Amino acid sequence: MPNPVTSLLSPLFAPARTARSFGASVGVVGRAGLLGPYAPWRLPAIGEAFRRYGLGLGAVYAVGAAVRPDHIAAVDETGASTFAEMEARTSTLASAMADAGIRQGDEVALLCRNHRHFLAATVALGKLGADTIYLNTGFAGPQLVDVTRREGAKALILDQEFLPVADGIGAEVPLFVAWADDREALAGRVSFEGILMGAPRRAPPKVTRQSRQIILTSGTTGAPKGAHRNFGTEIEPVVSLLSRIPLRTGDTTVLAAPMFHSWGLVNAALGMVLGARLVMARQFQPEETLRLIAEHRATVLVAVPVMIQRIMALPPETIARYDTSSLRIVALSGSALPGDLASRFMDVFGDVVYNLYGSTEIGWASIADPADLRAAPGTAGRVPLGAEVRILDDEGADVEAGQPGRIFVRSGLLFEGYTGGGNKDVIDGFMSSGDVGHFDRCKRLFVDGRDDDMIVSGGENVFPREVEDLLVEHPDVAEASVVGVADDRFGQRLAAFVVPVEGATIDVGSLRRHVSGHLARYKVPRDITILPELPRNATGKVLVRELRDG
């Protein structure tokens, strides 16, 4: 019988791979513990899991139950479940959804916060060969209805709290309630809890199609679009990420980043593959996150930058109350790291920050490790194994180190296209990230800003990131965002929106002088507005459109 681990990794070793990259890839997965050793008597069950469910996410708990049945797989506010328990749950849920008419190739929408049932729903749909559409928990009713109809969802899995938002969805779309806050109010509803109270059931017969994950783009400047991914069969992303972030089998991970977005979801999928204990809370609270790290002796925290910003805003005595010395890795992505946030965080928690630059469309292009962030604060890091990055000018030619240009990426991580049609710009197999940046002499990547965020004021080009980083260096400023607004004389002018440090009072004139003392005159914001907080989506990205439109 073929080695099931070799079978799992076989897509990584495509014909174009060189012997050198083959060896590097095997070394990466070996260091992570994915190559075993596995007890010989466990191999038949592992092989059966792959035979039945293929290389998709439908297999992860079946494999976990074969390798480590009694190990904790998932922890949320209601308790903990082992790999064997999660395997049984997902088979029962898959069977119940099949009874409700969900078939291979169908698309099912998921509107849930971070908890065990989110994971169970994803794996159960994987066992059916159905696709999962991950919906933003911040959606209003009309947006939910529009996306669900546009994507052609055959069913909706949601938390009880979102039932009012789903009122506009027709009766032809069955609802499954994943997380219940008030059981009595669920009378007549189909719920995961009700399904799981019955006798355990086997999953439907072997699927012939692997499920896909449809991630919605952030929609910070426009309507969100669905992007096809396949986290189950894309083994290359696993190796690519592990080549720069030293995750290991058996890690305990506090998963704070929302799983409906690509950064949270890929870490959930990778955690299941690695046999990690995934610790989740439905709502992010900075002190509660520290408590979970201390209580579970977590080795990994997965977050977005604004989350560690909020942790750093806690009083020092509150931070000191929790023992977080077990942390090896704080993995960040989803938005730019502002100013010296990484350095300040590492001064308190140790050199543990790894920051990934990428997007739903391109996967990841670069990863900064603690050494990179200490040596060159603001860097997006270095290109990981399996990826290539080029900086191109407007004519598609490569630019020299230090010169800015459009960032293009080539790897096995590129998305399959938008569900409604269309794609990103592609040149010679390299896909546009939509950003402008540059490499330094040490081959570290820096992202200067979105190519569509560039502000042209009086004929001069300004990227907001440079001004934002300078603003947050001011001792009274906690957060800042800079946008371009229409101006009759200059075409556009810079407008800054700043959030003061708690207890501080911002003097606008002093802040403007702070910027003018470091940057050219045309980069000094003419308008500075003080806000209690910046509008952000659930992944921490600033909603530029809301700022620009007032």
pLDDT digits 0-9 by tens, 325-376: 999 999 999 777 877 899 999 999 999 999 999 887 888 899 999 999 999 9
Q: pLDDT per residue over 157-170, tens digit each? A: 999 999 999 988 88
The pLDDT value given to residue 13: 41
Amino acid 230: pLDDT: 56
Residue range 212-239: mean pLDDT, rounded: 62
What SS3 string covers 212-271?
CEEEECCCCCCCCCEEEECCCCCHHHHHHHHCCCCCCCCCEEEECCCCCCHHHHHHHHHH
Query: Per-residue pLDDT tens for 189-223?
Result: 999 999 999 899 988 887 788 888 888 765 444 45
Percentage, residues of the chain above pLDDT 70: 89
Q: Picking from 72-81, 159-168, 513-522, which range would have the lowest pLDDT averaged per residue?
A: 513-522
| Segment 314-331 mean pLDDT | 97
- Average pLDDT, stretch 236-264? 91
Sequential DSSP letters for 6-63: HHHHGGGS-TT--HHHHHHHHHHHHHHTTT----GGGHHHHHHHHHHHTTSGGGHHHH
Rounded CA-CA distance 213/125 in Å is 10
* Band of pLDDT at residue 417, cut at 50, 70 and 90: low
More confident residue, 239 or 96: 96
To 10 degrees, what angle do helices 60-67 and 262-274 make? 30
Looking at 3.40.50.720, 3.30.70.80, 3.40.640.10, 3.30.300.30, the CATH number of the domain 455-549 comes to 3.30.300.30
Mean pLDDT confidence for 301-305: 95
For the cut 50, the answer to whether the pLDDT of residue 233 exceeds it is: no
CA atoms within a 13 Å half-sphere pointing along the CA-CB vector of 45: 17
Domain ranges in the chain? 455-549
Question: Residue 24: pLDDT band by 50, 70, 90 thresholds?
Answer: confident
Tell whether the model's pLDDT for residue 11 goes beyond 60: no
What average pLDDT does the segment 226-243 reach? 67
Residues 379-405 have pLDDT tens digits of 999 999 888 999 998 888 999 988 989
225 pLDDT tier (thresholds 50, 70, 90) = low
CB atoms within 10 A of CB 51: 13
**Predicted local distance difference test score (pLDDT) of residue 421:** 55
Report pLDDT for 423: 61
Three-state secondary structure readout of 483-499: EEEEECCCEEEEEEEEE
Q: Over the chain, what is the mean pLDDT?
A: 86
Per-residue model confidence as pLDDT tens digits over 42-55? 888 888 888 888 77
Q: Rounded mean pLDDT of 291-304?
A: 97
Could you read off the pLDDT of 87-118 as tens digits, one per residue? 999 999 999 999 999 999 999 999 999 999 99
pLDDT of residue 378: 86
Q: What's the whole-number mean pLDDT along residues 72-87?
A: 97
**pLDDT of amino acid 34:** 81
Lowest mean pLDDT among 44-48, 174-178, 423-427, 440-444: 423-427
- Model pLDDT, residue 10: 44
Helix (H) or strand (E) holding 72: strand 72-76
Question: Which residues lie below 8 Å from residue 216, measured CB to CB, with a gap of 6+?
Answer: 133, 134, 135, 136, 147, 224, 225, 226, 227, 260, 261, 360
Per-residue pLDDT tens over the stretch 447-495: 887 776 777 776 677 878 888 888 988 989 998 999 888 877 777 888 9
CA distance 250 to 271: 9
> What DSSP assignment string belongs to 41-57?
GGHHHHHHHHHHHTTSG
Enter the tokens of residue 40: 């010989």
Model-level pTM greater than 0.95? no
> What confidence score (pLDDT) does residue 454 get?
73
Tell which wins on pLDDT, 138 or 106. Answer: 106
Mean pLDDT, range 17-25, rounded to an integer = 60
Angstrom distance (rounded) from CA 270 to CA 60: 10
pLDDT for 519 equals: 82
Contact criterion met (CB below 8 Å) for 125 and 95:
no
pLDDT bin (cut points 50, 70, 90) of residue 17 is very low
Question: H or E stretch including 73?
Answer: strand 72-76
Q: Evaluate if residue 15 carries a pLDDT over 80.
A: no
Distance CA 433, CA 442 (A): 21
Predicted local distance difference test score (pLDDT) of residue 3: 42
Tell me how far apart the alpha carbons of residues 258 and 264 are, in angstroms, rounded to a whole number: 5
